[in-house]
Amino acid sequence: MDSSPEEFDAVVIGAGFAGLYMCHKLRDHLGLRVAVLEAEDGVGGTWRLNRYPGARCDIESFVYCYSFSRELYEEWEWTSKYPAQEEILRYLEHVADRFDLRRSIRLGTRVTSAEFDGDQWRVTTAAGAHLRARFLITGVGLLASAPFRPDFPGLETFAGRWCHTGAWPREGMELEDLAGKRVGVIGTGSSGVQTIPVIAEVAEHLTVFQRTPQYAIPAQHHTIGPDELRRLRHSYDEVWEQAHSSLGGFPCDPIPRSVLDDTPEQRTAEFERLWQRGGLHFVLATYQDLLFDIRANQHAADFARDKIAERVRDPRMLELLLPPKDLPIGAKRPIIETGYFETYDRDNVALIDIRADPIVEVTPTGIRTENDHHDLDVIVLATGFDAVTGPLLRLNISGRDGVALSEQWAQGPASYLGLAISGFPNLFTITGPGSTFGNIPVVAEHHIDWISDLIGHMLDTGYARVEATPEAQQEWTATMARLAAKSLIPLADSWSTGANIPGKPRTVLFYLGAYSTYRKRCDAIAAEGYRGFVFER
């Protein structure tokens, strides 16, 4: 076999929202030779992998999409407020076809390592192929490519079917296949909350194994009719101006005052308005101090607990479902639900508190907890992901002087703007650790535009390599830490701090300032000749 590497200007890893647009920018705008490497058998990234029953986006469809093409925005017809997995996948497949991206994409190509050889990046695939490129860009997403499976003793002995929500089988686990089965779902994070009500409707019996009760906010989901679609298309400029100047990358009108400035009646009215609007608005389009002042947060948390109490008839079940009072609402990424709490009033649903009754082992016929054995035909692991850093570390990246990224990040990740890493020339990480967090297609699109402009600057000026300086990376890491210390986010054990993975360094993985502020910071850095970067010829 010829082991000589293929030569490219850029290799992009991943063919989801990030990888598709990155390919378009580098190939069609900058004229580079680009190879996009995708481990799965089709484009779509997260939305190809997360195909569990009930999988649906929790950002409104009219902004959970690209903004770079007005024609694309106006021609695509979303059918619902929160698009289902299959609809988003169709959208991304349409984008790949519309912009002729497939000819640059290699499907079924898993990257096993990437090494900087002092001049270029050498990428190796699972099939033993080698590619060399001047630029390496990761578009592997925050979650989906690194599902976390806890070490449940005996799982391999289970005689039925089991899977992770983030790696759902293509065959044998469709919703109709679960009809009449005894199903167990471990985990009540976002994917668990979405799939539990759907599975409950068809299963003979559903047993939910819960560690932490969740604040889950109603989606207030609805279909989109022709009139609403027409209005959204005509509001293109307004929609994206609001999204780009927002806290989280989607249009909203935050309340410009403290929770504590309002009377109890005023607070209740505002909370009710946001609750009825549904989705992330309750936490992100709310009072300005909700995520920074525990006293302000307590008012919103109490309101949410009262709303949950209205929807669960069984007092014993309600006691298990109410989030603890010391858990601030929004400290974990908000979960959006439809019919979740009513599910626990069904006769065929049981809820096991695994803090009080821990899982001991999986047996051939089910799950044994300390106090009982639960007979099951199917086990669903809704146990989350090794978020943000996990997808990158799985690529086995080594930078200057052969230093492995895993070694450099052994005590926790560090980057500059979440886009570049000192010691790793010409490597760019879309939505990497240290970047802003919010509506991912919007955030990723900004990252890609910024990276493309930087690469374009290098092409124009004749620079061969660029990397973040250690000083800039250190300053950015300190900025992140200061913002995190002011917020309530560190008070919760969640994937956004790495607390869900045993042994993972605990640190806030995102820049917690507003997305609009982050954009301005990046623009200023570029305008100052890419302050914090060092260029080499």
Between vectors from CA 35 to CA 14 and to CA 416, what angle results, nearest 5°? 55
The per-residue pLDDT for range 283-311, each reduced to its tens digit, is: 999 999 999 999 999 999 999 999 999 99
- Stretch 369-398: mean pLDDT: 97
Neighbour-count burial for 12-45, b at 16+ CB within 10 Å, e otherwise: bbbbbbbbbbbbbbbbeeeebebbbbbbbebbbb
Residues 85, 86, 87, 92, CA torsion sign: positive
CA 314 to chain centre: 34
Judgement on whether residues 404 and 525 belong to the same structural domain of the protein: yes
Judgement on whether residues 359 and 392 belong to the same structural domain of the protein: no
The per-residue pLDDT for range 143-162, each reduced to its tens digit, is: 888 999 999 999 999 999 99
Amino acid making up residue 294:
I
Q: In total, how many domains does the chain have?
A: 3
pTM across the whole model: 0.96
Judgement on whether residues 197 and 273 belong to the same structural domain of the protein: no
Judgement on whether residues 130 and 22 belong to the same structural domain of the protein: yes
User: Is 264 among the domain residues?
Assistant: yes
Q: Residue 320: is its pLDDT beyond 60? A: yes
In degrees rounded to 5, what are phi and psi of residue 502? -55, 130
Q: Residue 2: is its pLDDT beyond 70? A: no
Judgement on whether residues 165 and 199 belong to the same structural domain of the protein: yes
Judgement on whether residues 113 and 182 belong to the same structural domain of the protein: no
Neighbour tally for 408: CB within 10 Å? 17
The pLDDT score that the predictor gives to residue 4 is 87
In degrees rounded to 5, what are phi and psi of residue 114? -145, 125
At 385, the pLDDT band (50, 70, 90 cuts) reads: very high
Q: Which of 289, 311, 329 is the last residue of a domain?
A: 329
Judgement on whether residues 353 and 206 belong to the same structural domain of the protein: yes
Amino acid making up residue 151:
D
Judgement on whether residues 359 and 393 belong to the same structural domain of the protein: no
CA 377 to chain centre: 30
The per-residue pLDDT for range 348-383, each reduced to its tens digit, is: 999 999 999 999 999 999 999 999 999 999 999 999
User: Is 231 among the domain residues?
Assistant: no
CATH number at residue 65: 3.50.50.60
Contacts 24+ apart (CB under 8 A), 450-453: 450/419, 450/522, 450/526, 451/22, 451/137, 451/419, 452/22, 452/25, 452/26, 452/29, 452/30, 453/526
- Stretch 453-474: mean pLDDT: 98
Judgement on whether residues 399 and 517 belong to the same structural domain of the protein: yes
Judgement on whether residues 380 and 390 belong to the same structural domain of the protein: no
The per-residue pLDDT for range 106-141, each reduced to its tens digit, is: 999 999 999 999 999 999 999 999 999 999 999 999
The pLDDT score that the predictor gives to residue 144 is 85
User: Is 31 among the domain residues?
Assistant: yes
At 413, the pLDDT band (50, 70, 90 cuts) reads: very high
The per-residue pLDDT for range 425-461, each reduced to its tens digit, is: 999 999 999 999 899 999 999 999 999 999 999 999 9
User: Is 230 among the domain residues?
Assistant: no
User: Is 232 among the domain residues?
Assistant: no
At 1, the pLDDT band (50, 70, 90 cuts) reads: very low
- The whole-angstrom separation of Cα 315 and Cα 50 is 34
User: Is 155 among the domain residues?
Assistant: yes
User: Is 233 among the domain residues?
Assistant: no
Full residue range of the structural domain in which residue 470 is found: 6-146+386-536
Judgement on whether residues 154 and 133 belong to the same structural domain of the protein: no
Judgement on whether residues 104 and 169 belong to the same structural domain of the protein: no
User: Is 288 among the domain residues?
Assistant: yes
Q: Residue 240: is its pLDDT beyond 60? A: yes
| Residues above pLDDT 90, as percent of the chain | 96
Provide the mean pLDDT of the chain.
96
- The whole-angstrom separation of Cα 465 and Cα 58 is 39
Q: Which of 329, 346, 361 is the last residue of a domain?
A: 329
